[in-house]
Structure 1
Amino acid sequence: MLHAQERPEHPAASGLEDFVYSEEDFVLQGVGWGRSRPDGLASRTVSRFDHALQSGWERRMKQGLFRYPLGELQTRILPGEMHFVAQLNIQRGLERRKPQDIQSVRQRFDPQQFHFSKIKPGEILFCLTRSHSPHVPAGGQAPAQDGAEPRLPETPNRVLVVINVSPLEFGHVLLIPDPMLCLPQVLTQELLHFGLEAVLLSTHPGFRVGFNSLGALASVNHLHLHGFYLDWELLIESAPSKPLCPALNFHLLQGVPAPGFLFYDEGRGLGVLARAVCRVTDYLVENEIAHNVFVTRGTAPGEPARSAARSGVRVVVWARKSCFGAKEEAAFNVALCELAGHLPVKTAQDFQSLTESSALHTIQKYLLPAPQLSWLQDELVTLLTG
């Protein structure tokens, strides 16, 4: 539990806490979806990480640091084989910051545009800090001194956990390396490693982490991951796959709204996993191919889909058509959530009329043609095995 000092003054005066963790904090067993409730939820122990994130997030909501209040979102599962989770989120469509003008997957960081060095100190929940020691101090964190100013990460073993002021779901946060590094939105092995670990620090099977590249609806060209809770199971957690390179647990995900490249790990080789994923995303960046990445708990490839266990981590990489300039008006934009089967919808009319067929039609407009995907598959297998 964090021992944050409650301060009555403006939220920007709050000091930043360190949330220190080690591999001993990873939850590798007993995480899964319950079957006794219609929404698939089950009572579960809240992890130390979940408590810190959720309590801090809710406190910022009460303090009015978000662009709009977010209550429980109206949700419906679209009939059909894909089990799309559609949610009505009108305010996000109206209130979110205007996306930056992006013209290249490799576009340089522009200090004249909005970037995360400009966030308010009160928007920072804590500094997620990896301990190199097998033992974390009692309380699991290094308490900030009273009156201390928020501290930015000084070493690669830290990232900031910051509220997304235009949330798409409960607990929506950003994982950001030291903002003063001014890194463009190109995924790094170090940041992805933190995202993988964050998923395993949660006891909630619906805590997901993701990345949008430039040209794949990233709205800010400053390196960050998204993290959020979704209380609904997604098809990609258990969908079948075709082995491409079994030695690296590299597969082609099938039977889902958007075919993607799947990596899997049981939580014991996250550094190796992050390195393999970033070899793929680096290749995509070099070749100006837009992409989205989604990290979720899921079944091992080949494991029966009906299995409720979600002990390992699935990482899905979607290579897709680039989307530069103004976004096309549709019921939803196609980024990491939508490719995964979670559809935040902008209007009540679209929410009521949306069908699986119309959702698939929208998504498929942004997918690579089958011949190009097949060519890319061969290229990535050669890259990973060579």
Structure 2
Amino acid sequence: MLPYWVPAAALLLPATASSCLGEGYLHQQLCQAWEQKRSEGVLQWTESELPALEVLEGPTAMVVQLAPNRGQKRSLNATINSTRLPFDDQRFHFGKVASAEVLLCFNPWRQTACHHTETSNTCHWPKYADLSTGDRCEEEQAMVIVNKHPICRNHFLLVPRGEQPQVLTLEALMLGLAFGLRGSKRLWLSFNTIGAGASVNHLHLHGFMAGFGTEPMDFPLERYLDFPALLPAATSRGPVSLWRTPRQWPLCGWVFEWTDNRALEIDSTLAERRLAEFVHAFVKTLQVLDLAHNVIIRMSHRQVIVFPRKTLFEQSKDVTELQVSGHEVLGWWVVARKEHALTGVEAEARLQQAQLPRSAQQKVLKALEWIGWTLKEEAKFLCDTQFPTVA
């Protein structure tokens, strides 16, 4: 007998969509809708024509993935020295996408108290994910749209309701955590500020998995995201611990981790809200300081990683240029040109090039203490250059 949340339509899935089953209701709905859009030609994804992933030499074992369709995406078409831009309705934004690009609507606040742990999941009821969009989800909290130039299978954009600039709000972060907790355990989400990889100034998060989709794979950073590789950064504050990525990783990141599994067994929404509040307090200080940042959501491990970094506009004019965005801070380099010639040394150097200058790093340390973290002395080190520079 099939689980009661599997619709009859799942029995008719083509072979390419077989990975849609077995990872929960939200993953199944997203995957089926994505495959349907692919079959209709709404997005371009020719996995069988792409070469194998290339693992680069070097201690970090970074990965190169060729995605030639990324050379067709929109560029920001501007060189700006700030992460804060006013929303401009005259430029492209996600309110202008065709209805055919909408995968589903998402509203976790329709959900009654539920819990999502390793052994139990009552968050699978279809109250929060609706495939009958019809419109652009105006009455819901967010719409989920296809990425027309995907990096991997099921690559999507989570777009909160309203026309807002690409500045992460507490509500948008909560939506990202809620989506991550209810989705596949292989799912990651990322937020990139202007100057940190964002090419559209409209509030959104990317959702993706490692690899080409069906085979589970790890991002290179993952081996540094668990104890004992992670460095304890501060005294824990209730259910949230703060860690720091080790010196072996070229770009310094701060890892917020939810550690209270009992709360997840009572109501996952409580954990989503509290973790979002802790993370956003830090993000808000980066916004005030006008420091670019990438925010990575890894809810399979109840972690949110924040990378304060330099403002860079590698793709401001040419989207085929190498850039440091959400995938790249995870060590997964997406290239649009076959003749990229990226080496392990260069990948590490490019990532380290996004490191903040020492004066800005000092501000980040002070900001963490200002919002309530008692930092350990061994976590106050500055990220000095230890990788070759890129010409």
Report the counterpart of residue 371 of structure 2 in structure 1.
Answer: 383
The correspondence for 1:50, drawn from 11, 27, 44, is 27
1:140 aligns with 2:126: yes
Unaligned runs of 5+ in 2: 10-18, 115-121, 212-216, 265-270, 375-391
Offset of residue 323 of structure 1: 2.1
Deviations 1:309-354 (A, max 9, x none): xx5222111111112583588862111110111111122222xx32
Task: Give the whole-Å Cα distance in 1 for the aligned partners of 2:290 and 2:210.
Answer: 31
- 1:348 alignment partner, SS class: coil
Task: Give the whole-Å Cα distance in 1 for the aligned partners of 2:70 and 2:63.
Answer: 17
- 1:349 alignment partner, SS class: coil
The correspondence for 1:264, drawn from 257, 270, 280, is 257
Query: Structure 2 vs 1, CA of residues 88 and 144 (structure 1 numbering), >3 Å: closer, same or farther?
Result: closer
Report the counterpart of residue 98 of structure 2 in structure 1.
Answer: 120
Report the counterpart of residue 320 of structure 1 in structure 2.
Answer: 309
The correspondence for 2:324, drawn from 334, 359, 374, is 334
Task: Give the whole-Å Cα distance in 1 for the aligned partners of 2:24 and 2:123.
Answer: 16
1:233-382 superposed matches below 5 A: 233-239=218-224, 240-248=229-237, 249-254=241-246, 255-266=248-259, 268=264, 269-297=271-299, 311-324=300-313, 326=316, 332-350=322-340, 353-382=341-370
Task: Give the whole-Å Cα distance in 1 for the aligned partners of 2:91 and 2:198.
Answer: 14
The correspondence for 2:157, drawn from 164, 167, 174, is 174
1:164 aligns with 2:142: no
Task: Give the whole-Å Cα distance in 2 for the aligned partners of 1:145 and 1:332.
Answer: 35
Offset of residue 375 of structure 1: 3.7
- 1:217 alignment partner, SS class: coil
Task: Give the whole-Å Cα distance in 1 for the aligned partners of 2:6 and 2:172.
Answer: 23
Unaligned runs of 5+ in 1: 6-41, 298-310
Is contact 2:254–2:306 with CA below 8 Å preserved after alignment?
Answer: yes
Query: Structure 2 vs 1, CA of residues 286 and 237 (structure 1 numbering), >3 Å: closer, same or farther?
Result: same
Task: Give the whole-Å Cα distance in 2 for the aligned partners of 1:144 and 1:48.
Answer: 11
- 1:384 alignment partner, SS class: coil
Give aligned pairs, total.
328
Report % sequence identity: 28
- What code does the residue aligned with 1:49 have? L
- What code does the residue aligned with 1:377 have? L
- What code does the residue aligned with 2:356 have? L
Query: Structure 2 vs 1, CA of residues 81 and 337 (structure 1 numbering), >3 Å: closer, same or farther?
Result: same
Offset of residue 44 of structure 1: 8.9
Task: Give the whole-Å Cα distance in 2 for the aligned partners of 1:241 and 1:90.
Answer: 35
Task: Give the whole-Å Cα distance in 1 for the aligned partners of 2:342 and 2:206.
Answer: 25
The correspondence for 1:70, drawn from 46, 49, 54, is 46
- What code does the residue aligned with 2:221 have? I
Offset of residue 196 of structure 1: 1.6
Provide the alpha-carbon RMSD of the alignment. 3.1
- 2:70 alignment partner, SS class: helix
Is contact 2:210–2:219 with CA below 8 Å preserved after alignment?
Answer: no
Task: Give the whole-Å Cα distance in 2 for the aligned partners of 1:50 and 1:359.
Answer: 32
1:228 aligns with 2:205: no
1:82-93 superposed matches below 5 A: 82-93=60-71
Task: Give the whole-Å Cα distance in 2 for the aligned partners of 1:285 and 1:139.
Answer: 36
- 2:276 alignment partner, SS class: helix
Query: Structure 2 vs 1, CA of residues 370 and 70 (structure 1 numbering), >3 Å: closer, same or farther?
Result: farther
Offset of residue 376 of structure 1: 1.5
